[in-house]
Amino acid sequence: MRRSVAAAIAAATASISILAGSQAGAATRSSSACTHHPIEGGPQVCIRVEGVGTHVDKAVAIWTNPPAGVNERTAHLFLSGHEVHYPQKATRHGSTLSAEWGWFEHSGALCVEFDGIRNRRACEDVYESDHS
């Protein structure tokens, strides 16, 4: 089970990186975070953020281990605890579901969650490049 989840995260991250293309500059961010519930298991939700400083080029919600029969689900984006933008339809890409939001500016916690999954909100902090 752990290997299949790890493989799903690696595949989702690799495919997103390929689609994004290469970006130059040391300040360019490409980061991700996932929910971790090793004892109870269940759904694993991840967020991937690409951009520079507080400029977010792309935020991606990834459900790494949806049941085989689930081919789409609504994903939500939260900035500092408040839902923003429009919910996006996450669709199946191999063994994962994913949805993305494009360009925006934000500083603080950036989080994603999926309809029908309780207590699984993945978050990543977004801040200026010179943040220490």
Which residue stretches of the chain are H helix?
Answer: 2-20
Q: What are the tokens at 57? A: 């080029």
Query: Is 92 a member of any domain?
Result: yes
User: d(Cα 46, Cα 122) in Å, to the nearest integer?
Assistant: 5
CATH code, domain with 32 = 2.60.40
pLDDT attached to residue 30? 66
Q: Is the pLDDT of residue 6 over 70?
A: no
Domain count, the chain: 1
Residue 131, domain member (yes or no): no
Q: Considering the entire predicted model, what is its pTM? A: 0.73
Structural domain includes residue 114: yes
What percent of the chain shows pLDDT beyond 90?
43
